[in-house]
Amino acid sequence: DVKVTQSSRYLVKRTGEKVFLECVQDMDHENMFWYRQDPGLGLRLIYFSYDVKMKEKGDIPEGYSVSREKKERFSLILESASTNQTSMYLCASSFSRFGEQFFGPGTRLTVL
Amino acid sequence: GENVEQHPSTLSVQEGDSAVIKCTYSDSASNYFPWYKQELGKGPQLIIDIRSNVGEKKDQRIAVTLNKTAKHFSLHITETQPEDSAVYFCAAGGGFAGGTSYGKLTFGQGTILTVHP
C-alpha cells in the first residue's frame, strides 16, 4: 500500500527557531512536493523536487528551503520561523509529473 | 502563472441529491485537471482526473466535465451519501517539459461538502 509519512502531526515552535519538517515515501517516486494549506486559500505549492538533489520553487517559496539528499526523503526547512508560517503543511509524492499525488497526513505547525 | 477559482466554498445537500462544484482556470496551457477529496484529519486523495483531450469522464457516481474554450471544469456527484461529506479541491496543471510551470499543480480554494442524512 502506498504510504507517505510526515515526521510530526503537531508541532509548536517559537519565533526565530529553525524548523525541519520531514517527509518520507516508500513508493520509489521521482517527484515530491511540499504544500501549505490555509482556510480559504486551498493548497499552495511551496517547493517541489523531480529528482534527488533537484528542487524547483513553487508559488510561495519565500521563507522556506528544501533538501532532498535521498530519493525517498524530502525535507522542508523554515530557517527562522515566523508567526505567519503557522499553517498545515502537506507533503506529497507522485510517480509521474502529472499523475496522482499521494499525500501524507499533514503537520500542523504553530509558531508562537 | 496559473490561477484557479473554485465555487462554492460550502455546499450543503440532502442525502440522495446531486452536488456540483465548479472551477475556472486562467492558463490556456493547462492540460491536466484532477479533483481531490480530503476527509477530516487526512491528506487529500485523488478521486478523478481529466486531461484536455477529453470533455467528460465518469466513475460510478462521480463525473467531471471540461470546457477548454471557456476554461472551466466541474465535478458532479450523484446520489450523494453521508460519506461523501469532505473538502473537495480542484486543481489545474500543465506546461511543457523544460518550462517553468512543468510539473506544478495549482489548487482551488476548496469546497466543504456536507451531506445530511
Say which of A44, A50, A59 has its CB closest to residue B103: A50
pLDDT of B97 over the 70 cut: no
Contacting residues of A for B103, CB less than 8 Å apart: 31, 48, 50, 56, 97-98
The per-residue pLDDT for range A24-47, each reduced to its tens digit, is: 999 999 999 999 999 999 999 999
CA dihedral sign of residues A50, B54, B3, B101? positive
The per-residue pLDDT for range B11-58, each reduced to its tens digit, is: 999 999 999 999 999 988 888 999 999 999 999 999 999 987 789 999
Of the pLDDT bands very low, low, confident and very high (cuts 50, 70, 90), residue A72 is very high
Q: Which of A97, A100, A108 to mutate to test the interface with B (most CBs of B within 10 A)?
A: A97
Q: Region B99-112: what's the mean pLDDT?
A: 83
Contacting residues of B for A105, CB less than 8 Å apart: 41-43
In degrees to the nearest 10, what's the CA dihedral of A78, A81, A82, A87?
A: 60
Mean pLDDT of chain A: 94
Q: CB B110 to CB A42 under 8 A?
A: yes
Among the listed residues A34, A8, A29, the one whose alpha carbon sits nearest the alpha carbon of residue A72 = A29
- Spatial neighbors of B60 by CB under 8 A, at least 6 apart, are none
Q: How far is CA A3 from CA A51, A62, A91, A94, A102, in A?
A: 19, 28, 11, 11, 8
Say which of A44, A97, A103 has its CB closest to residue B44: A103
At B1 the pLDDT is: 81
Question: How does DSSP assign A97-111, residue by residue?
Answer: TTSPPEE---EEEEE
